Amino acid sequence: MADRGEKLRSSTESRRSLENARKDLIGILGELEKIGLATRANLHLRAYTRLRKAKFCFKKKHAFFAAVLTMLFIRYAKDGLMPTRREKCIIDMPSSVHQVFRPPQDCSMCLGIQQVDKVTKIDPALFELRYAYSGQPVVVTDATTNWTAPKVFSFAFFKSLYEGQEADCQFFPYKTEFKSLREVFNMSTSRALQLAGTKPWYIGWSNCDGEIGATLREHYDIPYFLPDTAETEKTDWIFMGSSGYGAHMHVDDVKHPSWQAQLKGEKLWILEPPRECHYTCNRMTVTVEPGEIIVLDTNRWYHQTRIVSEEVSITIGAEYD
């Protein structure tokens, strides 16, 4: 009799757990509908859970994983559908999902680092030893001295360069209404120059057009401090925008470290170590000024940027291996 009573109590507790899981899932789906993201699949699942109230047959582990995945989707949607830099995929997964499955990082990459160094006239061999592949961020202050890009690159320059071109690489609208690079270059001149009363903006894109890439490289060189054995990716990354705006806190999904040259304006970088290193490594900030280049492994360091100058900020960069 005691065994029978124990089994009955266990069965009752199990049914209660499943009922609670069912209610949690329905609640989550309700949140999805509130923010306008109730896809047909979500509606089907809602209908299924309602029809099967009496015989809800999700196992506990199934309900748990369904709840986790749905919560990740909600978080992704509320973050404003912000893309991270990565190659085009058949199915573009949310950055939140990528972060869940990221391999753990070795915290020696950031252990003991108190600040982002600013260096000048650094020898490539020393740069390779200290910074190139160690994960330690650095700003090189004299790397664009002979470049013409700071004088040539502007909104008008890029507009003329891409006019009539079909840009088929990645475009990052961030918190703007723009859906393509073409829409960006159709904005008014007053807004492009962020004159008083105009709406601020911040966007980024990658260039994979060979002819345009060749034109861009007429105005900048491979940074002198990179090791002789390093190869720079041919894909240029360009970011441009108004004072007070920038990229949200994120980590990239790229293959190599990268450099980013601040051609115009000033940009504040906020760096956070990988999640597993929060208690052993430091959060750091650094302001990159015109003519300086920041070198950072954006695949390991979480980073956020904000333009702190009054003028429009323009940066260009690339990965290196």
Structure confidence by residue, pLDDT tens digits, 1-51: 555 555 555 555 556 556 665 666 666 666 656 555 555 445 545 544 454
pLDDT > 90 fraction of the chain, expressed in percent and rounded: 60
pTM of the model: 0.70
Q: What is the dihedral of CA 87, 103, 174, 164, to 10 degrees?
A: -10
CATH number (2.60.120.650, 3.40.50.1860, 3.40.50.10090, 3.30.470.10) of 107-319 reads: 2.60.120.650
Residue 122 CA to residue 233 CA, distance in Å, equals: 22
Nearest to 216 by CA among 231, 239, 238, 192: 238
196-223 pLDDT per residue, tens: 899 999 999 999 899 999 999 999 999 9
The structural domains of the chain, with segments of one domain joined by +, span: 2-78, 107-319
Instruction: Name the DSSP letter for residue 132.
Output: I
In the prediction, which pLDDT does 169 show? 84
Q: What is the dihedral of CA 165, 171, 174, 180, to 10 degrees?
A: 40
